Structure 1
Amino acid sequence: MMNWEQLLSLRRAGDTNKRLRKEQNETRLGFEVDYDRIIFSSAFRSLQDKTQVIPLSKTDFVHTRLTHSLEVSVVGRSLGRLAGQRIIEKHPHLKTIHGYQMNDFGAIVAAAALAHDIGNPPFGHSGEKAIGEYFSIGNGKRFKNELTPEEYQDLVKFEGNANGFKILTEDRPGIPGGIRLSYATLGAFMKYPKESLPHKPTNHIADKKFGIFQSEKAFFEEVANELGLLPTGNTKNKSFARHPLAFLVEAADDICYTIIDFEDGINLGLIEEEYALEYLIKLVKDSINTAKYHSLQTRADRLSYLRALAINTLITEAVEIFLNNEEAILAGEFHQSLFDKSRYEAQITDIIKISIENIYQSEEVISKEIAGYQMLSHLLDTYTNALLPEKGEPESNFNKLVLKLVPNVIEYENLDLYGNLIKICSYISSLTDSNIVNSFKKFKGLRI
């Protein structure tokens, strides 16, 4: 059984002394520092030019990864505070002995939620697939026999969640431990606290994907052990039960992409307004003020009203499910997302189905994902050919020129093959949608 005292650890990478909550400066709490460090990081700022739904959209009201992440963090803060208030009431020693407050839970979930997309490649999930297929069926397949099965799996199933953990924790020259977040926030960030193999060993929600590359495995174990996460793997392949607050981070993301992506689709004209509003009304029928709703004159106002009600409805629902299943979650025996047990599951499913059909599979999205797929594959080929040429092949002048442009973040001379490959993938993932377009044009000779 996991316990909240360990799960709320304020420890950071490199600490030699234990950080106690009751000794924290109330004007600048450790968990709030996590939020500040994330929001001022360059990796977070790059999300302003990364796809949420519509790649390279020039429409002001369509969400980017940055606006989506900010909204998820706001929802996460509410979820954490509401849950934290009830948890402290149930376990009063957390406050009386250790000094924890309900806002600590909100700060942890808000910070983890803020960072939840920080490792995602450009062009959405098609970016992950482009990187993975480069190594599984593309030119990167040539490296397979030189890698361990786990290292190769990291590449062919390249995962934004694992890359996010890498970004948050990776040593950089003069900056050991990355941006040094508290272990509690890192635990809440890890929706999939396992390495890439075995692939989907169970139907448990935490086994759906993976959250750790081989390059961060040792530090991942340190964080998991400090937090008291329950081991679920074997001595070779490490996996753990989720940090309980990771369920709230996931719920915050689910709420935002379900409701706000749907709203984007309506605003873009991809989903018919009257048809769409019916689905939102079904979700909020118990709380809607019909007189107020009918008094609203514009589509934007009607959407805003229903969105606020829907988000509030789902926040309340998620917290109740979380608290009702607290013991199972602490025991590592809760195997679903919170909304899999929601009374609104049918309404949520209907909304997501419409979004898939009308937004995610729209011609605009698919055509731009195809272009992004090609550009990412070309950049991977360009960098791997320059940094890691095939043995026996003469070095081309083009590759020599590319090496002169290799960014400092890829310290290829000091790394093994796997380290080089994962660095290249992580670097390309850090680029924005526009960066990818510009780099592609440069390497193709279309821009000087």
Structure 2
Amino acid sequence: MAKHIPPQSIWSPERRPRPHPATSPEEVDLAESDANVANDNQAGRDRRSEFQHDYDRLLFSTPVRRLADKTQVWPMEENDSVRTRLTHSHEVANLARSIGVRVYSTSSKEFELSGISSDAVLSVIQPILLATGLGHDLGNPPFGHQGEAAIGGWFVKRKEWIFSRTAQDGESLGADAVPEALHSEFTGFDGNPQGLRLLTRLQTHVDDLGLDLTAATLAAGLKYPICFDNVDLRNPLRKKGGYFSSEKDVVEWVREHTGLKEGQRHPLTWIMEACDDIAYSVLDVDDVLKKQVMSPDDVLVILRHKLHENPTVTKLLSRFREVEKKTMSPHAQHDIKIQYLRAFFIEALVTHASEQFIQNIGAIFDFSHQMPLMDNSQLCSALKQIAKQYAFNNPLVLRTEALGAAALDGLMCAFWFAISDRTRFDDIKSRRKSARSSYIFSLISPNYIEQACAPDVHGSNANGMRYRELRLLTDMISGMTDTYAMRLWSDLQAVPHVNGA
């Protein structure tokens, strides 16, 4: 018999309540449809768990599809075999599912004591891990970490006035200024809290619930379980803000239903984080080999030098020698060696992550654990160093990222002009003052504008007019794909200002 899940459970399948009762005939029909779906679920016609629904919603969502044109390492790469954020996210999800099965099969008792039944690996653990793996990078702007730096840098250059005055030489915003405690949400812009905002706010929903995911899935996706005001660079769990103040009410709701507190990370988040590290280390090196920047033999030479008598490296050396004895072309040998590298490294790191989780499972479930699972893996660290040297520091990557950063800076200037150049300060939708700003403002996604104008239900500090304006700006910029950003910047440069406006 399935174990009853307590009201406060880290596995809570609850979804946020609809804020208003159905009033119109259309809303009544929708409510009845939802009730019919629930009845179908109970009758067994839809056997998916709530968490399987979460994964399916993510899989078919627009933001996930956009990841196909967002940088993993190589911006706007024409080689189809090289990874994008989409392929990276699918791989993270798959790795997370594999580790989830391993740790549950070894330590199921710990999971069951936390409030789930003995058959929950398929209906709870796997779909949550698949969902968090697929969604972990949704908030990343164009050009990855360089895009984050470009957005943050734009605010840093304007920090003396952008948060407190109408314009560089303008009047004080008074009560509409952004509180100083919230400045770092913009100057230190990060894709993780933007991802939570994307999932819970920015996707169109009849009741303004985003993708309407469960409390447990949202909790597991919160990599840094703190607000920006509680950042502590000395603590791996607190080195970045995990949610914006605009989503504080969502996080409070999640905590109400999961029992988690500020600074407490959901147990499955450790697995998702480890799989992201594995993908960054192994699969980014795999892309270096696909790009023929270096060879599999080069990787092995570096690792033999860095990791003396590492068993995985030793096994690979033996396999490479076996391949070289085969009567096949050098090209075929090259490809087979890449396959061996990928398979052996993934297996070694997945095993390491699983063992670390199991060894620390008590501390993970009582929320006292601090160190990421892959931090003490020498193999993971060595592979990351190779990726950094030969991928992230590749001149082609650096050049494209520099072009992308310049485009984002220009786009932010253009969209800020369009957002702020209006007839009424208290109404974001009011008429623009120029044809150019009217055109640029028309390019902003309507659901982003609606969210910027939403009723003040997200906390008084978070909803001053300047905060809303800046959040609208970052929503628009971070939602772009690489190609769209470059194309749009080229287009906007062809639309001149008039009379110096």
Question: What is the TM-score when the length of structure 2 is the normalising length?
Answer: 0.78
359 and 7 in structure 1: CA distance in 2 versus 1, 3 angstrom threshold: same
1:433 aligned residue: 482
1:20-419, aligned counterparts within 5 Å?
A: 27-90=47-110, 92=112, 98=117, 100-103=119-122, 104-138=124-158, 141-145=160-164, 146-170=177-201, 172=204, 174-199=206-231, 201=232, 203-229=234-260, 231=261, 239-278=262-301, 282=310, 284-285=312-313, 290=318, 294-295=322-323, 297-341=332-376, 345-389=377-421, 395-411=433-449, 414=453, 416-419=465-468
Quick one: which amino acid aligns to residue 384 of structure 1?
W
258 and 387 in structure 1: CA distance in 2 versus 1, 3 angstrom threshold: same
Deviations 1:207-252 (A, max 9, x none): 12121011101111111232121x3xxxxxxx32111110000011
1:234 aligned residue: none
Quick one: which amino acid aligns to residue 429 of structure 1?
S
Helix, strand or coil for the counterpart of 1:220?
helix
Query: Gaps (5+ residues) in structure 1?
Result: 232-238
2:459 aligned residue: none
2:499 aligned residue: none
203 and 398 in structure 1: CA distance in 2 versus 1, 3 angstrom threshold: same
Q: Could you tell me how far apart the structure 1 residues matched to 2:362 and 2:205 are?
A: 43
Helix, strand or coil for the counterpart of 1:122?
coil
Q: Could you tell me how far apart the structure 2 residues matched to 1:256 and 1:301 are?
A: 20
Aligned length: 428
| Cα drift, residue 113 of structure 1 | 0.7
Q: Could you tell me how far apart the structure 1 residues matched to 2:245 and 2:212 are?
A: 19
Q: Could you tell me how far apart the structure 2 residues matched to 1:116 and 1:24 are?
A: 33
1:13 aligned residue: 16
Runs of 4+ with deviation above 6 angstroms: 390-394
Deviations 1:283-314 (A, max 9, x none): 62476593586237421221112211211121
Quick one: which amino acid aligns to residue 300 of structure 1?
D
- Aligned alpha-carbon RMSD (Å): 3.0
Larger Rg: 2
Q: Could you tell me how far apart the structure 2 residues matched to 1:286 and 1:4 are?
A: 51
| Cα drift, residue 107 of structure 1 | 1.9
Deviations 1:29-82 (A, max 9, x none): 221211111111100000000000011110121100000001111101111121
Quick one: which amino acid aligns to residue 7 of structure 1?
I
101-110 vs 352-361, greater mean Cα deviation: 101-110
183-192 vs 40-49, greater mean Cα deviation: 183-192
Q: Percent identity?
A: 28
Contact 1:119 1:164 in 2 (8 A): yes
| Cα drift, residue 382 of structure 1 | 0.8
Deviations 1:171-217 (A, max 9, x none): 64524311111211111111101111233x25221112121011101
| Cα drift, residue 93 of structure 1 | 5.8
